[in-house]
Structure 1
Amino acid sequence: MNIETALKETMAIDGALGAALVDYDSGMALGALGESGSAEDVDMELAAARSAEVVRAKLRTLEALRINDSIEDILITLETQYHLIRLLSNAGGSRLFLYLVLDRERANLALARHHLRRIDGELRV
């Protein structure tokens, strides 16, 4: 699966407001899609860059604590949204993550995580 297809499938997840594929070394989005014109309109480029900082900080924390494990995903829970960061395991050496913004009222977090895991397994960068 390519980047465009992966982002479209990510946006097909119930409650999706925005999605991006992000390089967490640079903070650059390799692609982004969002639901525009809504009250929840999210600047996915800005969200991608700032979320890369979150990923790098958590990786440094694990290193400092000498925890020899890998991050599967990071969840940020807001009153009206979920922000889900899925570090990609099949990125071919690239340090990438899928970033998904969900409407909390419409989303099923467990199903969203399941769909991101499947997309991760099929995405080829």
Structure 2
Amino acid sequence: MSTLETALKEIMGSVEGTIGVALVDYNSGMALGLIGGGPDLDLNVAAAGNTDVVRAKLRAMELLNLDEAIEDILITLSTQYHLIRPLTSRSGKGLFLYLALDRNRANLAMARHQLKKVETDLEV
């Protein structure tokens, strides 16, 4: 089991092209922890904004009567990938990992794989 700080550092250091990473509570929109970001990416603003994305997708799934779990949500921009992964553990309910990647340097498949691995080990 890894702590939040350890998990975020692991993602930041092991996923090529990472701009920033955060653990977010989608009930409040608050980032519980974050690393990275910068003048071009305010992770606190991104956390709050992506909370709306997660809520909207959950509402849509409910309206469609889909009995499924979201593995991840991918948003592709012209220069970035934004990856959202809701946590599935009992202690992680209501939380998601948010990862922003430089599209020219990132390997999306490896990023998804690493997020899944970190999620499995994360103790919140």
Decide: shared fold, TM above 0.5: yes
CA–CA separation in structure 1 for the residues paired with 2:53 and 2:92:
20
Q: What amino acid is aligned across from residue 29 of structure 2 in structure 1? A: G
1:90 corresponds in structure 2 to: 89
CA deviation after TM superposition for structure 1 residue 93, in Å: 5.2
CA deviation after TM superposition for structure 1 residue 94, in Å: 2.9
For residues 7-27 of structure 1, what are the alpha-carbon distances to aligned partners after superposition, in whole Å with 9 as ceiling and x for unaligned?
Answer: 111111100001000001110
| 1:1-125 → structure 2 map (5 Å cutoff) | 1-12=2-13, 13-36=15-38, 41-92=40-91, 94-125=93-124
Cα RMSD over matched residues?
A: 1.2
Please tell me whether the aligned partners of residues 37 and 43 of structure 2 are also in contact (alpha carbons under 8 angstroms). no
Question: Would you identify which runs of 4 or more consecutive aligned residues in structure 1 move more than 4 Å?
Answer: none
CA deviation after TM superposition for structure 1 residue 95, in Å: 0.8
Query: CA distance change for structure 1 residues 91 and 97 in 2, over 3 Å: closer, same or farther?
Result: farther
Please tell me whether the aligned partners of residues 15 and 103 of structure 1 are also in contact (alpha carbons under 8 angstroms). yes
**TM-score, L = length of structure 1:** 0.93
Between 103-112 and 6-15, the greater mean CA deviation after superposition: 6-15
**TM-score, L = length of structure 2:** 0.94
Larger proportion of helix: 2
CA deviation after TM superposition for structure 1 residue 113, in Å: 0.2
Gaps of 5+ in 1: none
CA–CA separation in structure 1 for the residues paired with 2:71 and 2:92:
16
For residues 39-80 of structure 1, what are the alpha-carbon distances to aligned partners after superposition, in whole Å with 9 as ceiling and x for unaligned?
Answer: xx3100000000011000000000000011010100000000
Query: CA distance change for structure 1 residues 16 and 88 in 2, over 3 Å: closer, same or farther?
Result: same
CA deviation after TM superposition for structure 1 residue 90, in Å: 2.0
Aligned length, in residue pairs: 122
Gaps of 5+ in 2: none
CA deviation after TM superposition for structure 1 residue 122, in Å: 0.1
